[in-house]
Amino acid sequence: MRSMPLALSALSAGVLALAAGPALAGTGQQSPIDIPTADVPVDASLPALEIDYPEATTVTVEYIRKDADDPEGCTTRDPEETIEAHVPHGAASVTVGGKEFELQQLHFHTPSEHLVDGDATPVEQHLVHQAADGELLVLGVRIEQGAPSEVDTVLADPPAECGPDSERAGVDLRALLPEDLSSYRYTGSLTTSPFTGGVNWAVFAETVTASPGAIGDLDAVFPEHNARDVQPLTGPIALRPQS
């Protein structure tokens, strides 16, 4: 995920109750990871993701440059840049274990940052949520090529680097997530500089599809990709089944 200017409360990490100790910024488990499904325990006692997303909202899609003042201009295509959709303040949230995380933005990586048993998908969507105390929760959605979906509404025809922002109306945010909310839970990090730790991750087991056209549009913007390599898995991880 993209870094955000915030003071992450490291000691508040662990809301997903993975029995990990407090993660200090810049130390501990880094993200993304390759999820070894055969070795991941199922833990139905972990708190559910209570999704409170509106059926229709307007998002603003923009090309996020790593350094807006970069003297090399608008063709740098830095791997830490992305296409990002900003969600109106207060429009959507997820509650986990009684703690509310507000949806700030969602953005895309090509190919997927998280692997499952060594396999990538063409795209991964990160929905970045922040609690009032600064703690982060990121939902990771791996996207496969297939039937058009709500992802197309956000992803297709993205703005060019230094191009104008683009508004997308009537976006069904819940439809950006898989129907089955079973997810791999672990405490990791930002996947871009400064790679801050203590980030609550939920990577869905089920994938979502997007059309070849929408995926091709993202590839055209980032021909050299914008995904961080997987990091060694050193901390606990568990699969929280939907029910």
Q: Is 136 exposed, middle or buried (0-12, 13-18, 19+ CB in 10 A)?
A: buried
Q: Which residues pair with 212 in a beta bridge?
A: none
Looking at beta carbons only, is 126 or 240 nearer to Zn ion?
A: 126
Closer to Zn ion at the Cβ: 57 or 189?
189
Return the range that interacts with Zn ion (CB under 5 A); candidates 1-9, 11-19, 84-92, 232-240. Answer: 1-9
- Closer CB to Zn ion, 114 or 240, in the complex: 114
The interface mask with Zn ion, positions 78-117, x = CB under 5 A, is ----------------------------------------
CB of 243 to Zn ion, least distance (A): 28
Length in residues, the chain:
243
Alpha-carbon gap, residue 196 to 177, rounded angstroms: 25
Nearer to Zn ion, 19 or 64 (CB): 64
* Minimal CB distance residue for Zn ion: 1
230 binds Zn ion (CB under 5 A): no
φ, ψ for residue 95 (rounded to 5)?
-110, 130
Q: Which amino acid is at 159?
A: P
# chain residues binding Zn ion, by CB under 5 A? 2
The CB density around residue 213, as the number of other CB atoms within 10 Å, is 13
Q: Which is nearer to Zn ion, 2 or 240 (CB)?
A: 2
Q: Binding to Zn ion (CB under 5 A): which residues in 114-173?
A: 126
CB of 86 to Zn ion, least distance (A): 14
Q: Are 26 and 197 in contact (CB under 8 A)?
A: yes
1 belongs to the binding site for Zn ion (CB under 5 A): yes
CA angle 206, 208, 213 (to 5 degrees): 155
Query: What tokens appear for 190 in the block?
Result: 């930002």
Binding footprint of Zn ion on the chain (CB under 5 A): 1, 126
